[in-house]
Structure 1
Amino acid sequence: MAWIYARRGTTIGVMSLRKPLWRRLLRVAAIIIAALLLLVLSGLLLADHLAPQARGEASQVLPLQPAQTPIDRQIMPLQAAHPGQSGVAFLSDGMDAFAARAMITEHAGRSLDLQYYIWHDDLIGHLMAKALYDAAERGVRVRILLDDMNAKDKDALMMALDAHPNIELRLYNPFRNRSGIARTLELVQRAFSVNHRMHNKSWIADGRIAIVGGRNIGEEYFSARSDVNFQDLDLVVAGPAVQQANQIFDDYWNSDAAIPISALATYTDAQLRQLVRQSDLDALHAQAQPYLQRVAESRQRQRASPEPLHWSTQVRILSDPPMKHHGDAHDDWLVTALVRQLQSTRYKALLISPYFVPGSEGLDGLSAMAGRGAQVGVVTNSLAANDVAAVHGGYMGYRVPLLKAGVQLYELKASGQTGDSSLFGSSGASLHTKALLVDDQRGFVGSFNLDPRSAYLNTEMGVLFDDPVLGAQLRAEYLRLASPEHSWWLALGADDELRWLQREPPPHWVEAEPGSSLGKRWTARVISWLPLESQL
């Protein structure tokens, strides 16, 4: 009996000493938070040592030749007929944009230099990778620079191209850890340094012709997905301005942020052969036939763009510096050049941006322009069309003050099944065009979203022009996107409540975010309360 009482007493004593569940959970949470803080602190202190340090051999664009390649022989007479001018053509149609890249790759005989934020492991990604492989097989030197945020497991086959002796692939600001939980932990540890990404998009052939704009490489960017209504825009550029694109690429390629994939991971000849076999199979797929047919039509026209080039003296290709986040001066940043253009507005400023978070300075600037009588219009994504709830949450609070200031707002309608909104995704939004037009003449088309991330965190690039013909073409694209068929028109009702006008017959007002679910509306609203704007 004494033994039993002793055991009972001990048990009771142990239970009386056990801490409440909420205190134990609080302790576990504190340990997790402390571990995360320690990871982030180590990243802040050791960031330069944690990032991969391997450097590739420096290289530059190959010297131009008068008639070495088909592109030389096509572009040189055009340049001679338009001395001091650069030729430009718009690529708004997805199939045309695919065919233009395929054509300049097919005609390239010297070099191909590409830099992209995203390259998907899908039909379009495979077809374009095969085009690069075929060019390399002809002896063309191929340099590919990809941002590493989206170049992990799903793009292993794409990176296998590096196994070809004529192809080198480098990653911008890469992770040491290529996959799994280790990559996730590194993301936390280097949270501040990996937050800076390369958002540039360019495809340059033989140093003479370039495609610059908003498209990444993947099905949704070239109208190859039935569930996404993607509106996007690129420009084909030939002539002297391409030398600026060449210099931009070389600066990024030889920067400290560009690391050879061969220094980070190993890919085999077998994987390269697998990529080639898969690409050949993709070319037989029914979904690929319209794209290959459009390439065949372009081949008959013997030019890369669906329309003839328009030649102008006022065309420049601009970019942020490759190590943008390391300097404090903004003089050579793209945001500075674009703000300068907007500040020169006399009577009209038209803006197109998938993600539109103007900030207090942008709000004041646009309001001031409208206040002095200029027409200020913005086309952006509606909540239903936007896959990034965080960005819409950052934008939604600016709508009422912008409308009260006289700024015109249009939100693109969702078309097809856009899927669920994510916090920080980027590939499902209906609108992807990034452009602005000032006074119907001075314009920009590129990768720059009108938000803090493009302004201060990511590197961006694009084409800046001052030409009434190109201005008219960009204005037509703005009007198409802002048309009743594609967009809602926003206005204020009683008590400054937002309303959306459906302008297609029968016209009617909508009082809530049109086409969006209650869950999406609540998600965007909650995120709008959080201090995230600087990261959007």
Structure 2
Amino acid sequence: MRRILALFLFFALALAADRLYVAPDDGVGYLRSLVQHTKRELDLALYLWTRGRLDLAEALAEARRRGVRVRVLLDERPGGEPQDPRVLQVLKEAGVEVRFSSPLRFAHYHIKAMRADGRLWISTGNWTRSSFSKNREYSLVTDREDWVAEFKKVFEADWEARALALDDAKLVWSPERVYSVFRPFWEGNAKRRVLELIASAQRDLLIEQNGLTDEDVFNALLDAMDRGVRVRVLGSASARESNYFGRMAKRLAEEGAEVRYLEGLKVHAKAMLVDGRRAFLGSQNFTPTALTANRELGAVLEGGPALERLRATMEADWARARPALRPPRGPVPW
């Protein structure tokens, strides 16, 4: 009897565990399955959706036709261009409720997240063909009740263009800024949570990022190196000379950080591993806009199979990436 009970508890915990999905390795099938198994409500908050992922539009349309309430909240002009009209047409014809985020609320609605009944998808990637076939992206699927409830609350506020206090949130929300003059409150906690994670590192920080321009993050990484933490920074080979990543990466390399660039995949991920035991992943680039002006969502993982897979993937990417050449210091030894 005890053995049966132990097996039951093991499988119950396995089913309830967070699951990490890695792009391009895992493709898009798991996401279509998540939509297909939704029975009551589906809320999607997304920055960019192109016709390269029209299959996901059809999946949401089919969910609506079988009676699921489907709401989609999008950035109106991602990258300065309107959302794909073909995607919007498929959603509209099926009766999916679609709104654009108010430009008065956020600089960009850069979030990538979805609630499907009692499950929550949090991702670094948009719904484009390249996000699932050419990019390094990470996605977390969880049924943690407190996280699911928190996302539902924030989505409702964003749907109605209302501000919400999120300074003590369990998830990692941007924008972190003070809202209102008369009764001020913090709308997010992202920069504080990211800086706290960096400050907590004792041995090693591994950052795999698409964007790196925030000076507070830069200074926190310098402080980490000063106390003996190994700091590693990983980006796309194409970002080596970019102002969006390469410039600050070079500055960190000059201060003693290890910097490498990954060939063959675009690093669109936004992830940070702390001492191999804790990790951040989400939609936040490490830029001032992402942390303090956009709507973004991330999560902190501590232990479990999802963290272990993230650690293994990031370390594998690091191992096959090419080191950045550091400029020589002092006299050149000809």
Normalised by the length of structure 2, the TM-score is 0.82
Q: Distance in 1 between matches of 2:218 and 2:203?
A: 18
Q: Distance in 2 between matches of 1:127 and 1:171?
A: 21
Q: 1:154 Cα deviation (Å)? A: 5.6
Higher strand share: 2
Q: Distance in 2 between matches of 1:467 and 1:96?
A: 21
Relative contact order: is structure 1 or structure 2 higher (C-alpha 8 Å, sep ≥ 6)?
2
Q: 1:370 Cα deviation (Å)? A: 1.2
- Superposed CA deviations along residues 31-78 of structure 1, whole A, max 9, x for unmatched, are xxxxxxxxxxxxxxxxxxxxxxxxxxxxxxxxxxxxxxxxxxxxxx98
User: In 2 relative to 1, CA 493–161 (structure 1 residues): closer, same or farther, beyond 3 Å?
Assistant: closer
Higher helix share: 1
2:116 to 188, 200, 205: 205
- Superposed CA deviations along residues 197-226 of structure 1, whole A, max 9, x for unmatched, are 1111112211x1121111111111110xxx
Code of the residue aligned with 2:26 in structure 1: it is D
User: In 2 relative to 1, CA 471–342 (structure 1 residues): closer, same or farther, beyond 3 Å?
Assistant: same
1:410 to 260, 273, 280: 260
Task: Give yes or no for the alignment of 1:318 onto 2:175.
Answer: no
2:153 to 226, 237, 247: 247
Matching of residues 421-432 of structure 1 within 5 Å: 430-432=266-268
Residues matched between the structures, number: 314
- Superposed CA deviations along residues 442-501 of structure 1, whole A, max 9, x for unmatched, are 2111101112221222121012122264433222121122123xx22124243479xxxx
Matching of residues 265-304 of structure 1 within 5 Å: none
Q: 1:330 Cα deviation (Å)? A: 5.0
Task: Give yes or no for the alignment of 1:398 onto 2:248.
Answer: yes
Q: 1:412 Cα deviation (Å)? A: 1.9
1:167 to 96, 107, 114: 96
Q: 1:397 Cα deviation (Å)? A: 3.9
User: In 2 relative to 1, CA 365–324 (structure 1 residues): closer, same or farther, beyond 3 Å?
Assistant: closer
Which residue of structure 1 aligns with residue 68 of structure 2? 140
User: In 2 relative to 1, CA 78–120 (structure 1 residues): closer, same or farther, beyond 3 Å?
Assistant: farther
Kept in 2: contact 1:380–1:410 (CA 8 A):
yes
Task: Give yes or no for the alignment of 1:373 onto 2:206.
Answer: no
Which residue of structure 2 aligns with residue 354 of structure 1? 210
Kept in 1: contact 2:76–2:82 (CA 8 A):
no
User: In 2 relative to 1, CA 431–399 (structure 1 residues): closer, same or farther, beyond 3 Å?
Assistant: closer
Task: Give yes or no for the alignment of 1:114 onto 2:44.
Answer: yes
Q: Distance in 2 between matches of 1:331 and 1:105?
A: 30
Q: Distance in 2 between matches of 1:160 and 1:395?
A: 36
Q: 1:102 Cα deviation (Å)? A: 0.6
Kept in 1: contact 2:76–2:101 (CA 8 A):
yes
Is there any run of 5+ residues in structure 2 with no aligned partner, and where? 1-7, 164-168
DSSP 3-state at the match of 1:443? strand
Kept in 2: contact 1:140–1:166 (CA 8 A):
no
Q: 1:230 Cα deviation (Å)? A: 1.4
Kept in 2: contact 1:381–1:431 (CA 8 A):
yes
Which residue of structure 1 aligns with residue 298 of structure 2? 462
Q: 1:381 Cα deviation (Å)? A: 2.2
Is there any run of 5+ residues in structure 1 with no aligned partner, and where? 1-76, 175-192, 224-228, 258-314, 416-428, 498-536
- Superposed CA deviations along residues 317-375 of structure 1, whole A, max 9, x for unmatched, are 33226x9585586573312111111111111211111112242x333221221121111
DSSP 3-state at the match of 1:398? helix
DSSP 3-state at the match of 1:232? strand
Q: 1:246 Cα deviation (Å)? A: 1.9
Normalised by the length of structure 1, the TM-score is 0.53
Which residue of structure 1 aligns with residue 314 of structure 2? 478
Which residue of structure 2 aligns with residue 340 of structure 1? 196
Code of the residue aligned with 1:250 in structure 2: it is E
- Superposed CA deviations along residues 283-327 of structure 1, whole A, max 9, x for unmatched, are xxxxxxxxxxxxxxxxxxxxxxxxxxxxxxxx9533226x95855
RMSD (Å), alpha carbons: 3.2
Q: Distance in 1 between matches of 2:304 and 2:172?
A: 20
Which residue of structure 2 aligns with residue 386 of structure 1? 239
- Superposed CA deviations along residues 383-414 of structure 1, whole A, max 9, x for unmatched, are xx239x7xx2254443444224321111222x
Which residue of structure 1 aligns with residue 129 of structure 2? 219
Kept in 2: contact 1:371–1:405 (CA 8 A):
no
Q: Distance in 2 between matches of 1:442 and 1:337?
A: 12
Which residue of structure 1 aligns with residue 141 of structure 2? 236
Code of the residue aligned with 1:363 in structure 2: it is F
Kept in 2: contact 1:94–1:221 (CA 8 A):
yes
Code of the residue aligned with 1:159 in structure 2: it is L
Kept in 1: contact 2:230–2:257 (CA 8 A):
yes
Code of the residue aligned with 1:481 in structure 2: it is D
Which residue of structure 2 aligns with residue 104 of structure 1? 34
Kept in 1: contact 2:272–2:280 (CA 8 A):
yes
Higher alpha-carbon Rg: 1
Which residue of structure 2 aligns with residue 494 of structure 1? 328
Kept in 2: contact 1:330–1:336 (CA 8 A):
no
Kept in 2: contact 1:200–1:447 (CA 8 A):
yes
